[in-house]
Amino acid sequence: MKSESIPLVFSFPFPLLSLLIFTPWAGAVLLTLLRGASALTARVLTLAFSLSTLAFSVLLLDSFDPAATAPQFGERQPWIAALNVHYHLGLDGLSLVLVLLTGIITPVALLASWRLERSARLFGALFLTLQGAALGVFLALDFFHWFVFWELSLVPAFFLIKLWGGRDATRAAYQFVIYTIGGSAFMLFGFAALFATTGTFDFNELARLGADGTLAAKLGAGPIQFIFLGVLFGLAVKVPLWPFHTWLPPAYAEAPTGASMFLTGVMSKMGVYGFLRILWPIFPQQLHAAAPWLLTLALGGVVLGAWAALRQTDLKRMVAYSSVNHLSYCLLALFAVSYATGRAGLSGEAATAALSGTILQMFNHGLSAAALFACVGILQTRADKNNMGGTPMPRGTGVSPLGLKDFGGVRAAAPIFAGLCGIAMFSSLGLPGLNGFVGEFLIFRGVFGLHPGAAAVACLGLLGTALFLLTFWQRVFHGPRAEAAAGEFSDLRGVEYAALVPLVLLMFVLGVAPQLLTRLINPLVTAWAGHLVLP
């Protein structure tokens, strides 16, 4: 995959990409200063600033040229001359899709957390900080400040889990940070070695050196292999790639609903984005050599993630393991493309399908997984009201973990909620006509053309996904009414509609008209597939 230089001009009379990143941070600062603000004021301000990403995205969509595969709306300014560091931002089709996803998930996650009463101002400030950091990761093109954004995202996520989480939130938060910082340390050492050799942190320049073989020639076979493994490990933990996934289920399960939605909807995509933006372009030969082993790990996530979800009784852990399963499809497609690169009979059509499916899966999984966590949050709220789920929590949301046996007959008590949750489940299942089908179909279409054996094994993951989602649907929404679904178990109310309905509508829209997204990425993916020849 070759790199193209970024146009160093603004397409607007103001730095739009910088505004995308720093407007949520401005909201976080404002919330910090408004010490006397009521909880309602804090919530409204947080929601308003979170919507800035969608507002700026409309401007980007209006001026974005999908045919131009080089990053657009470029911003590049000298920053640290001694290290040749530049403040360098740019946006292509991949970045735009993830910026849109962030702009959608953040406000609905905040709406799902609307009734959190404790420290609403601090909660909002942390959430906006997390939003800005994620946007920085998707837009930065120089490793130095990309890594700053990458690491900065851990701080608000840690406190959101620890302060508003469940019974084991402290342990889950520390486990989350230790794993991700540990992986990031290896990646940092790797890029320090790259800088010592090349004198640059610029992703485009490093991708050019990696694509033409210059980087491998300068470093030597041994050193570049170690650097590759360090960067791989840092990104693998973030996705997470099996077996580096063990931090994810407790973190997602213990986090408050809104944080779980953002973690699965946006933060998990940062790792896959790193594979596409950094690892694959800079280390094409090393990734090609490691692809057979990495395909095995991706298949482990696809198959074992789904079957682990089937074994769960805790609803949030079930959805958490489903994220391991669905994100492993993205890595499976990428590794299959890398495996076939340079081999006789490489199908450009199959590679294009696999890469397009990867990007669509990232977006579509963000919608469906966030919706499922919102649904579980609503179930928790109802169970807490009916005094179900054990002893109330000492902090955070005040609810205990809920399992499949705690519910039953919810469809009769809350038919609208059941309908919306069912749509989210069938989207995650990949039902034709909903958004989840498109990405998974393209991934399997591509992987079958590149590595039929891997695609055949991955079908076991589809079976496991169907089993655990249908078990969820049958146990919770059908059958005799359990205590948690009895009495005052009400249907959706006001703000709960606002959190779920936009996601469900997008599932239908993108299931019927996926070209709304594919037109943004098709030229870029076609260009990637056209460069799949090893030096």
The answer to which of 52-56, 165-169, 264-268 has the lowest mean pLDDT is: 165-169
* Stated pTM of the model: 0.89
Closest CA to 472 of 321, 366, 250, 246: 321
Residue 4: burial class (beta carbons within 10 Å; 0-12, 13-18, 19+): middle
pLDDT at 75 over 80: yes
User: Which of 120-134, 401-415, 454-468 is most confident?
Assistant: 120-134
Q: What is the pLDDT confidence band of residue 487, given thresholds at 50, 70 and 90?
A: low
| Pairwise CA distance, residues 361 & 443, whole Å | 8
Q: Left if phi > 0, otherwise alpha if psi is -120 to 50, otherwise beta: which for 64?
A: beta
**For 140-220, where are the alpha helices, taking DSSP H only?**
143-152, 154-164, 169-198, 203-211, 214-219
∠ CA 138-139-141, rounded to 5°: 110
Closest CA to 177 of 160, 158, 162, 163: 158
Residue 1 domain-assigned (yes or no): no
pLDDT value for 101: 95
Share the mean pLDDT of the chain. 84
Phi, psi of 84 (to 5 degrees): 55, 40
| Structural domain for 368, as ranges | 16-530
Closest CA to 325 of 461, 175, 153, 232: 461
Residue 9 domain-assigned (yes or no): no
- 332 Cβ partners below 8 Å, 6+ apart? 295, 298, 299, 302, 443, 447, 454, 458
pLDDT value for 531: 67
Number of domains in the chain: 1
The answer to which of 109-113, 315-319, 402-406 has the lowest mean pLDDT is: 402-406
**For 220-347, where are the alpha helices, taking DSSP H only?**
221-238, 248-254, 257-262, 268-274, 280-282, 284-311, 315-340
pLDDT at 312 over 50: yes
**CA torsion sign, 292 to 295 to 300 to 301?**
positive
Closest CA to 117 of 42, 31, 28: 42
Q: What is the pLDDT confidence band of residue 12, given thresholds at 50, 70 and 90?
A: low
Residue 5 domain-assigned (yes or no): no
| Pairwise CA distance, residues 240 & 244, whole Å | 6
Q: Per-residue pLDDT averaged across 450-462, rounded?
A: 89
Note whether 396 and 134 are within 8 A (CB): no
pLDDT tens, 383-420? 766 554 443 343 444 445 566 677 777 787 788 888 99
Q: How many whole angstroms from its chain centre is CA 123?
A: 21
| Pairwise CA distance, residues 431 & 435, whole Å | 8
pLDDT tens, 187-246? 898 888 888 888 888 888 888 888 877 877 887 777 888 888 988 988 888 888 888 888
Residue 172 domain-assigned (yes or no): yes
pLDDT at 466 over 50: yes
Cα distances (Å, whole numbers) of residue 413 to 350, 484, 486? 47, 10, 7
pLDDT tens, 510-525? 999 999 989 999 888 8
The DSSP H or E segment spanning 466 is helix 452-477
